[in-house]
Amino acid sequence: MDHDSPSLLWFRQDLRLSDNPALSAAAKHGRPIVAIFILDDENAARWAIGGASRWWLHCSLVRLDASLRGLGIPLVLRRGPALTVLPALAAEVSAGAVFWNRCYEPFQVARDTAIKSALSGAGVRVESLNGSLLVEPWVPKTQAGQPFRVFTPFWKAMRGLMAPQLPLAVPPPTIPPAKAPPGDALEDWGLQPRKPDWAGGLRAAWSPGEAGAMAQLEHFLEQGIGRYRSDRDRPGEDSVSRLSPYLHWGEISVRQVWRAAETYAGPAAEPFLRQLAWREFSYHLLWQFPDLPERPFNAQFSRFPWREDSAALNLWQRGLTGYPLVDAGMRELWTTGWMHNRVRMVTASFLVKHLLLDWRHGEAWFWDTLVDADLANNAASWQWVAGSGADAAPYFRIFNPVLQGEKFDPDGRYVHRWVPELAKLPDEFLHKPWLAPANILKTADVELGGTYPKPIVDHAVARDRALAAFATVRT
């Protein structure tokens, strides 16, 4: 191998410089580095990047390009099947080695295996590393040598497998300069919405990129982690990390987050660390059961009597169900590309158990609208709510959206923000406006069926219907 031949550094869901194993490994070779990002929608098929994630990706690539320039590394953008694009680029620049951090989605694994074979056959060294997880998803096993299906024993096993490691530093800017081959212009990819431009709420809510990730982590450590145990279920409070999109796109590593939380908060960080472990559990499930996003984990649910009701699905998507907590969550999602975790559970439960609509409808909607759309988390969480997944919520656990609102948003701070047409209602009726007397509604400028919808389904009726439907699966 020519000592001056460059190394290719393939960025995917690891859009950062710090604690980036592939970047560190490439830098150690002392050769020029050419960085590449490939937009490969064909390989992803139905799980091609959704609208909100495409907006995020555009912003993140702008920032990654600027950061890499500081190290003298050019970032080349190319669009097309990575199976052909990457080997072609390797030949074009006479690359001696290619480095990347692993992805774990089934279609990514199959593609990367084929790419590794093609490159190795051409005499190019290939090295893939773990830059996304604390523990590789195939490592934790039960005593019987099987994958875990329940979170708590997985959590205990994972903690025992974790080796204490310091996050990797950013390589010094001493890498020999590389000549950049031609690439696409980011603007030509059309990742940002134009007509209409629906991303105003996303721009107001987020600062994609590695610097934004570190700023968000610092904010959470200073303002949220001390209250996380007590307030994490209250959507009106600023006590959750909001790090999920940064973790998905790898603008910060889970190792960095884990170490910072543990160092800053000590034992008080435990509830938050469990949430990071749930992310690991989701990847463990997806690795062992690659059809998790498409098929019920529990095969009995393949005969569940789902309803077809496009009108009800549309009302749920638009936040017009007549249940204020559900509507607030769906509107937060549409505006910001994110939703508080407690409200995700309530809105998902409403779709699946109140409306009896297939969980895959919700999974697809979240995939398109979430800036943190993550195949493993999305699939595992929707199946958990539906009762068909691993360690799933029991079939009879049907969230009452009124009681959930009164318990976790008692002062209405969350609903007031996202359902402003109810802002004048007294707290007593905020989560059940249909029970407010006519004079109260009039004083609050609320017209049910006019300014705010009536409930599209009665909770008690929906609960009985759901229990009957679940009984058909259990027999």
Q: What is the pLDDT of residues 379-397, one digit of tens each?
A: 999 999 999 998 876 777 8
Reported confidence tier of residue 376, pLDDT bands at 50, 70, 90:
very high
Same domain, 346 and 416: yes
- Check whether residue 266 and residue 365 sit in a common domain: no
- CATH number at 150 reads 1.25.40.80
Torsions phi, psi for 130 (to 5 deg): -95, 105
354 within 8 A of 459, measured Cβ to Cβ: yes
Report the percentage of the chain scoring pLDDT > 70.
99
Do both 406 and 350 map to the same domain? yes
Indicate whether 87 and 56 sit together in one domain: yes
Supply the range of the domain harboring residue 326: 299-474
pLDDT per position as a tens digit, 3-54: 578 999 999 999 999 999 999 999 998 899 999 999 999 888 889 999 999 9
The CATH number of the domain holding residue 409 is: 1.10.579.10
Rg of the chain, C-alpha, whole Å:
24
Please give the pLDDT value at position 190.
96
Does residue 75 sit in the same domain as residue 50?
yes
Q: What is the pLDDT of residue 475?
A: 58
| 272 shares a domain with 154 | yes
Among the residue ranges 80-89, 165-174, 213-222, the one predicted with the least confidence is 165-174
3-class secondary structure, 156: helix
Q: Are residues 277 and 251 in the same domain?
A: yes
Question: Quick check: helix, strand or coil at residue 3?
Answer: coil
> Residue 1 has what pLDDT?
44
Over residues 433-458, the pLDDT tens digits come to 999 999 999 999 999 999 999 999 99
319 and 468 belong to one structural domain: yes
| Cβ neighbours, 10 Å, residue 158 | 21
Contact (CB, 8 A) for 376 and 282: yes
Taking residues 179-201, what's their average pLDDT?
94
Contacts of 32 (CB under 8 A, 6+ apart): 4, 6, 7, 175, 176, 177, 178, 179
- β-sheet with 7-11: strand ranges across: 75-79, 33-39, 7-11, 97-101, 125-129
The mean pLDDT value for 213-232 works out to 96
The pLDDT value given to residue 165: 80
Check whether 121 has a pLDDT greater than 90.
Answer: yes
Q: Within this chain, do residues 305 and 437 fall inside the same structural domain, yes or no? A: yes
Please check the confidence at residue 421 and state whether its pLDDT lies above 90. Answer: yes
pLDDT of 460 strictly over 90: yes
Domain contains 176: no
Domain presence at residue 439: yes
Report the share of the chain in percent with pLDDT over 90: 92
Q: Are residues 330 and 360 in the same domain?
A: yes
Mean pLDDT of 424-433: 97
Cα separation of the two ends of the chain: 64
Within a domain: residue 203? no
C-alpha 366: how far from its chain's center?
9
Chain-wide mean pLDDT for the chain? 95
Looking at residues 126-147, what average pLDDT do you find? 96
DSSP structural state of residue 295: S
Q: Which has the closest alpha carbon to 456: 313, 335, 360? A: 313
Range in 137-141, 175-179, 257-261, 404-408 the model is least confident about: 175-179
Q: Which of 262, 288, 314 is the last residue of a domain?
A: 288
Q: Are residues 343 and 399 located together in one domain of the fold?
A: yes
Q: How many domains does the chain have?
A: 3
Q: What is the pLDDT of residue 2?
A: 52
Alpha carbon distance 294, 277 (integer Å): 23
Cβ atoms within 10 Å, residue 272:
23
Lowest mean pLDDT among 72-81, 277-286, 401-410, 465-474: 465-474
